[in-house]
């Protein structure tokens, strides 16, 4: 009985822990996405400023070609950075899905445990009712036994008295017949 309570406590603690982990991961993912969005907005602003400067320098094509080369390099860097961010996000998404799966598994296990607990409660109630019946039967049998013992004691005392009376009668007859002889 204690192990079911302990198991319930562990399951509840596990479900609470899983919920906490889920919340922490979801919060972390949201913060990462917010930082990434802010960083991308900053980078976008920088690129817009660069573009405005490039338009001013249209007349200076050689300078623009050099700037274009620089921007291409930056773009490649950003693509690489985005790829690593996407990879990190994929890892966090996989971890999030794993936690979600664990939570669902724990919920299912908790549901099964609740069902088992309900069954055990019914069994305990049934056993208690049976114990109450047996206790009542035992009380009745003890009462009947006490009555029988009292009756046997009374009969024994009566038989003892009757035996004494018969013995005295036999003795007095025997003594009376010896006196007459």
Q: Helices 2-56 and 61-180, interaxial angle, to 10°?
A: 170
Give a yes or no: residue 151 inside a domain. no
Are 32 and 45 a contacting pair, CB within 8 Å? Answer: no
Predicted confidence at residue 159, as pLDDT, reads: 93
Backbone angles phi, psi at 60, to 5 degrees: -105, 70
Tell whether 61 is covered by a domain. Answer: yes
What pLDDT does residue 180 have?
65
- Does residue 156 sit within a domain? no
DSSP state of 58: T
**Does the residue 161 lie in any domain?**
no
Predicted TM-score (pTM) of the model is 0.36
pLDDT of residue 175: 77
Domain membership of residue 179 (yes or no) is no
Say if residue 29 is exposed, middle or buried (CB neighbours under 10 Å; 0-12, 13-18, 19+).
middle
> DSSP code of 59?
T
Q: How many domains does the chain have?
A: 1
Tell whether 166 is covered by a domain.
no
Give the pLDDT of residue 59: 64
Output the tens digit of pLDDT for each of the chain's 181 residues: 457 778 778 888 888 888 888 888 888 888 988 888 888 899 989 988 988 887 776 667 777 688 889 999 999 999 999 999 999 999 999 999 999 999 999 999 999 999 999 999 999 999 999 999 999 999 999 999 999 999 999 999 999 999 999 988 888 887 777 666 5
Domain that holds residue 103: 2-139
Cα 20 to Cα 16: distance, rounded to the nearest angstrom:
6
Q: Is residue 178 part of a domain?
A: no
Residue 11 lies in a domain: yes
Give the whole-angstrom CA distance, residue 122 versus residue 78: 64
């Amino acid at each position: 009985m204690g192990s079911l309570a302990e198991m319930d406590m562990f399951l509840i603690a596990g479900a609470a822990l899983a919920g906490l982990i889920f919340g922490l991961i979801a919060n972390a993912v949201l913060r990462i996405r917010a930082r990434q969005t802010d960083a991308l907005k900053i980078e976008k602003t920088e690129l817009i400023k660069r573009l405005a400067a490039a338009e001013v320098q249209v007349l200076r094509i050689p300078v623009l070609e050099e700037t274009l080369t620089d921007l291409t390099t930056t773009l490649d860097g950003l693509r690489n950075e985005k790829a690593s961010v996407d990879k990190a996000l994929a890892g966090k998404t996989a971890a999030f899905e794993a936690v979600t799966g664990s939570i669902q598994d724990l919920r299912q296990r908790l549901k099964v445990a609740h069902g088992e607990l309900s069954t055990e409660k019914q069994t305990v109630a049934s056993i208690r009712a049976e114990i109450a019946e047996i206790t009542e039967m035992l009380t009745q049998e003890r009462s009947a036994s006490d009555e029988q013992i009292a009756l046997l004691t009374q009969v024994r005392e009566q038989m003892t008295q009757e035996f004494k009376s018969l013995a005295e009668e036999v003795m007095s007859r025997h003594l009376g017949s010896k006196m007459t002889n």
